[in-house]
Amino acid sequence: MSFDAIFLVGLIGVLDYLTDYEVEFFPFYSIPILLMVWWSGRKGAVLTAVLSAIVWYCVDMATGHIYSQEWLRLWQAVVRLIFFLLVVVAGLASKRQRDFSRAQLELSERLRLMEQEIISVSEREQVRIGHDLHDGVCQYLVAIAYTAGLLKQDLEKEAPAKAATAGEIADLLQDALVTARDLARGLSPVDSDEDGLASALESLALRTSKLMGVSCFLIYPKSVSIPDNTRAIHLFRIAQEAVSNAVKHGHARSVIIALESTGFELSLRVSDDGIGFDPGKVEKGGMGLNTMRYRAHMEGGHLDIEPNSPTGTVVTCTINKMNPHELQRNSFEL
């Protein structure tokens, strides 16, 4: 048993004696008992409960408390012992609940970090494949297309029919090159630098305006920088999905992508002037809203979908500027 608990029981006994038997002081014996529950567990707490009952019995005798029959004093001591033991049971239950809750939180955090690491590994692998595709396959296609172009020039004088075929091959290779570059850009959409997200979102806006026939604009203050490439990729994928939803499902004619920095938070907002939609209904159609929310959750943030005024939808992803790993480390330090 801890000497601190013994000293505390003795101190409470002295105070109990000084306050006389007319003042009920025995509930304060629960303090060292509960402390022993947290410090040493069940055995130490039970011993402290027994010691507290004995001390109370001795103090009750020392104060001269008179009972009609002496066995009543012993009965009162037994009742208090039972009370102290119930305090032990309650304290142990509370401690188990706390330990269980802490274990759940730790497990949940480990699972979240594991999920985040799996996504990060997947993103890094996609980036690697994109770079290999761009630097390898695309370069071969450029060389073959150039060779086909030279072959066309050589055949134009000697065999025009064959020159036309060579020209068709060169055109097909150019189309394949464009497709391969688009695939590479899709696998690795964000360059690994502080301005990578801005460049990727600008390309997304230009591509959306050109291919989908809508007005897509980007608002990206120069003061905002995201050096973490993984976070930048998550934000880009969310913006990409939100823009696609606005055009395909919301039938928008104008889309605005905006990144804002407010205090300790970063907010990515995609707003449109479309007809709007019911997230509960379209989610079943495979709009990828769950994936967007999952990406936001992986970065310790949240995703909100609200109606725009006068028409349309606003998708907002808000994350903390400090990444989840730093937040977790700081919380443990505190």
What is the pLDDT confidence band of residue 316, given thresholds at 50, 70 and 90?
A: very high
b or e along 174-202 (b: 16 or more beta carbons within 10 Å of the residue's beta carbon)? eeebeebbebbbebbbbeeeebbbbebbe
- Residue 272, pLDDT score: 94
Closest-CA residue to 123 (of 235, 230, 245, 237): 230
Taken as a whole, the chain contains a residue count of: 334
Does the pLDDT at position 222 exceed 80? no
What is the number of other CB atoms lying within 10 angstroms of the CB of residue 162?
A: 14
Mean pLDDT calculated for residue range 216-235: 83
DSSP class of 267: E
* The last residue of a domain, from among 143, 168, 187: 187
Residue 333 pLDDT exceeds 70: no
* pLDDT on residue 283: 54
Asked whether residue 88 falls in the same domain as residue 155, the answer is no
* One domain, residues 267 and 182: no
* Rounded CA separation 224/239 (Å): 16
* Whether residue 201 is found in the same domain as residue 183: no
CATH number of the structural domain spanning residue 260: 3.30.565.10
* Mean pLDDT, residues 97-115 taken together: 83
Listed residues 105, 138, 168: the one ending a domain: 105
Nearest to 245 by CA among 269, 277, 214, 213: 277
Asked if residue 94 belongs to a domain, the reply is yes
What percent of the chain is modeled with pLDDT above 90?
11
Please check whether residue 110 lies inside any domain of the structure. no
Against a cut of 0.75, is the pTM above it? Answer: no
20 forms bridges with which residues in the sheet?
none
96 and 163 share a domain?
A: no
Residue 327 confidence (pLDDT) above 60: no
Number of domains in the chain: 3
Residue 331: its pLDDT value, please? 42
| Res. 285: pLDDT tops 60 | no
- pLDDT, residue 194, reads 67
Pairing of strands 254-262, 215-219: parallel
Residue 238 forms part of a structural domain: yes
**Cβ partners under 8 Å of residue 142, min gap 6:** 177
- Higher per-residue pLDDT: 281 or 94: 94
CA distances from 110 to 103, 104, 113, 255 (A): 10, 10, 5, 38
Structure tokens at 74: 């012993």
pLDDT at 16: 81
Same domain? For 268 and 208 the reply is yes
Q: At what angle do helices 324-333 and 71-132 cross, to 10 degrees?
A: 150
Environment class of 230 (CB within 10 Å of its CB; exposed 0-12, middle 13-18, buried 19+): buried
**What average pLDDT does this structure show over 128-151?**
80
Please tell me the distance from the alpha carbon of residue 257 to that of residue 242, in angstroms, as a whole number.
9
pLDDT per position as a tens digit, 147-159: 888 888 888 877 8
Does some domain include residue 112? no
Q: What average pLDDT does this structure show over 47-73? A: 86
Are 200 and 329 in a shared domain?
yes
Mean pLDDT of 58-71: 84
Please state the rounded mean pLDDT for residues 74-95.
89
Contact 33, 49 (CB under 8 A): yes
Please give the sequence-ordered ranges of beta strands (E in DSSP) within 176-277, or none if there are none.
Answer: 215-219, 254-262, 265-272
Domain membership of residue 113 (yes or no) is no
Range 68-97 average pLDDT: 88
Shared-domain flag, residues 174 and 200: no
Domain co-membership, 202 together with 178: no
For residues 155 and 95, membership in a common domain is answered with no
Instruction: List phi, psi (to 5°) of 307.
Output: -70, 145
Mean pLDDT of 72-85: 89
Kindly state whether residues 200 and 326 are assigned to the same domain: yes
Say whether 226 sits in a helix, a strand or coil: coil
Q: What is the CA radius of gyration of the chain?
A: 36
322 in the same domain as 219: yes
CA-based nearest residue to 133, from 175, 168, 176: 176
Distance between CA 4 and CA 7 in Å, rounded? Answer: 5
Q: Are residues 171 and 202 in the same domain?
A: no
Q: What is the pLDDT of residues 170-190, one digit of tens each?
A: 888 888 877 777 776 666 677
- What is the domain extent for residue 147? 118-187
Which of 164, 187, 210 corresponds to the end of one domain?
A: 187
Contact 41, 58 (CB under 8 A): no
